[in-house]
């Protein structure tokens, strides 16, 4: 998208921003509208925390700071947790997929 980012990092930025969008959009829409377990504070808080972590991780990669590696490792962890919780809850397929893809990409970037 902008010329100085290498393709591997841009793919990770894309995965982070995709997961950010899915977690934020689904929690503030789908989950609150469904209610029940989908609207429990713990679930919404995890979705938001995952969304914000993905957003900040992409941001630090875009800045070009070598500190992105630590954030990528933490981002992989919270995305893995969010994918697991969403799979258990059900009716959250788009979020499970976005979190899994982001976790894998971030884990590679952190290595």
For binding to its own copies (CB under 8 A), which residues are involved?
Answer: 1-5, 13, 17-18, 21-22, 24-26, 28-30, 32-33, 35, 39-41, 44-46, 48-50, 52-53, 55-56, 59-60, 62-65, 67-68, 70-71, 74, 77-78, 81, 94-95, 98
Min separation Cβ 2 and its own copies, Å: 4
- In a 10 Å sphere around its CB, with 0-12 CB exposed, 13-18 middle and 19+ buried, how is residue 93 labelled? exposed
Q: Which of 53, 49, 48 is nearest to 72 (CA)?
A: 53
CB of 108 to its own copies, least distance (A): 18
Cβ contacts of 33 within 8 Å, gap of 6 or more: none
């Amino acid at each position: 998208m902008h010329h100085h980012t290498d393709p591997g990092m841009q793919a990770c930025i894309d995965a982070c921003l995709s997961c950010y969008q899915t977690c934020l959009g689904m929690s503030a829409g789908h989950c609150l509208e469904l209610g029940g377990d989908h609207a429990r504070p713990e679930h919404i808080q995890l979705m938001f925390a995952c969304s914000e972590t993905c957003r900040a991780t992409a941001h630090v990669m875009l800045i070009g700071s070598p500190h992105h590696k630590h954030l990528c490792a933490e981002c992989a962890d919270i995305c893995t947790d969010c994918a697991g919780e969403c799979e258990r809850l059900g009716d959250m397929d788009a979020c499970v997929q976005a979190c899994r893809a982001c976790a894998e990409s971030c884990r590679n970037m952190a290595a």
